[in-house]
Chains A and B, each alone.
Chain A
Amino acid sequence: MSRKIKIEDILDNCLERLFKGESIEDCLRDYPWQASELEPLLKTSLALLQKSAAIQPNPEFKAKVGSQLQGMLRAKREKAEKKAMGPIWRRRWAVAMSTVLVVLLAGIGTVAASADALPDESLYAVKLATEQARIALAFSDTDRVELHIQFAERRATEIAEMARQGETGEIPALTERVANHLDKVHEAEKAQEFEEREPKMLAPAPAPVPGPAGKAWDYTEGGEPEEKLKTMLGESRARSLSVLQAALAKTPKGAKSSLEQAIRDVGQDYDEALSNLEN
């Protein structure tokens, strides 16, 4: 066996073996030239393992949390079942109408004020509800695709802002929202063929969705729609990643790794969305 292996690698290999129930002696036998350095480290590791294993949550508390989670799951399932009832257009209208109601109750001013809200602010729920309404009221799947791309970018901007503030707790959820919007791009794009055969249920058409520079997006105009969509997604990817990369310099040290992870995830989500278009 090579004696050039780093002690860190040997230690890790032995640790894995200890985790699986092998003895310290088994491991030392394979690395006799490192035995004197390795043995005390493995003894420490074994003691650490044994002491860690002694840390146990209170069984009553564990059971209580378990049943609380099951209750939440049941409620979630019931909600999903209710939501699944009725045709798509009716569900969209239901979402839209309930959101319009929220908007009316909250007031136009509140909705406008929510535009820059971040996940840790109370107006953020209004912002998301307004977005849902815009998606639900979109005239066509083309409009819906554009909205989802726009909102994916918004989430990326929010990740950047949260990271700058050192608030890492919401970053994974925001990253998932980016992924969800990009998943919907594919779903809506697939639904377009179906839409062409179905009578329009929603009318009239909303105003064109403004692009980030105030320019209206229209991927159906000129060239193949799929190519246009790819270009649009590619440009959105570049903008989102650029916003996130720019935030790195202003992010506190403790939040940097969360932001770096988000950059990797968001990039991957866009790549997946682009590859879904090709398949």
Chain B
Amino acid sequence: MSIDEKEVVTRAIKGDGEAFAQLYEEYFDKVYRYIYLRLREKAEVEDLAQEVFIKALEAIGSYRWRNLPFASWLFRIARNHMIDHLRKAGKVEKIDWDDNIAHVEGPNPARIAEQSLEIEELRGNVEQLSPAQRAVISLRFGGELSVDEVSKVLGKSPGTVKALQHSGIVALKKMMLVDR
């Protein structure tokens, strides 16, 4: 976290509306992208993004550094909220953190053909990753978090995150056919 951001977060903790607005501007799109990469319906994504910031607003007064960067704190709220949402919708994910092997050996032509838009294709590809890879890739590329920040959101070591990032990108390479 930069010194400037620390100062903004400190002011937001004290109830400074302008500081919270700055954090909102900085993180809303990232949280939105992170959620977007995990869910299908736009309305669902919007609802969740909104609820994440309402939860953050309610809890920010009690946020403490604890070696936990603000971004990790915020995305932990987002992740927990999304897990609850998925569970309530009956889409429980079982995450095997040791699972570094790509589940997908190649693109699913039928599925990709259906997804004409590039973003939809991206979401479709991310969806085909293993849950552990998906958790890392969506935080890293959607949320733009560093490996250290991702490791604090997920409670996993940076080494595990890097391994999942690598295997996730290898799997996506096969799906996205960048080399074609």
Residues of chain A touching chain B, judged by Cβ–Cβ distance below 8 Å, are 6-9, 11-12, 15-16, 19, 40-41, 43-45, 47-49, 51-52, 54-58, 61-62, 65-66, 68-70, 72-74, 76-77, 80, 166-169, 171-173, 176-177, 179-180, 253-255, 257-258, 260-261, 264-265, 268-269
Contacts and interface: CB of A to CB of B under 8 A. Distances in A.
Contacts of B84: 167-169
Main secondary structure of the interface of B (DSSP, over half): helix
17 contacts: A8-B159, A8-B165, A9-B162, A40-B179, A41-B173, A44-B178, A49-B141, A51-B121, A56-B32, A65-B28, A68-B50, A73-B57, A76-B57, A167-B84, A257-B154, A257-B155, A265-B66
B47 to A, nearest CB: 10
B136 to A, nearest CB: 11
B87 A258 contact: no
B49 interface: yes
Nearest to A177: B62
B50 A11 contact: no
B95 A254 contact: yes
A52 B142 CA distance: 6
Interface of B: 15, 17, 20-21, 24-25, 28-29, 32-33, 36-37, 46, 49-50, 53-55, 57-59, 62-64, 66, 68, 76-77, 80-81, 83-84, 87, 92-95, 97, 118-119, 121-122, 137, 140-142, 144, 146-147, 154-156, 159, 162-163, 165-166, 169-170, 172-173, 176, 178-179
B15 A73 contact: yes
A61 B36 CA distance: 15
A260 B156 CA distance: 10
B173 A73 contact: no
A173 B63 CA distance: 10
Contact of A19 (B49, B55, B68, B144): B144
Contacts of A66: 21, 24-25, 28
Given A168-B84, A169-B84, A254-B87, 10 more contacts: A7-B166, A12-B162, A43-B179, A55-B36, A68-B50, A69-B20, A69-B24, A70-B17, A77-B15, A80-B15
B155 A52 contact: no
Contacts of B179: 40, 43
B169 A41 contact: yes
A68 B162 CA distance: 38
B36 to A, nearest CB: 5
Contacts, number: 155
B122 A48 contact: yes
A73 B178 contact: no
B94 A171 contact: no
Nearest to B100: A8
The 8 tightest CB contacts between A and B, nearest first, are A169-B84, A176-B62, A8-B162, A44-B173, A257-B155, A51-B122, A8-B166, A261-B155
A242 B154 CA distance: 22
Contact of A57 (B29, B64, B155): B29
A255 B173 CA distance: 30
Contact of A268 (B25, B59, B66, B163): B66
A12 B147 contact: yes
Contacts of B83: 168-169, 254-255, 258
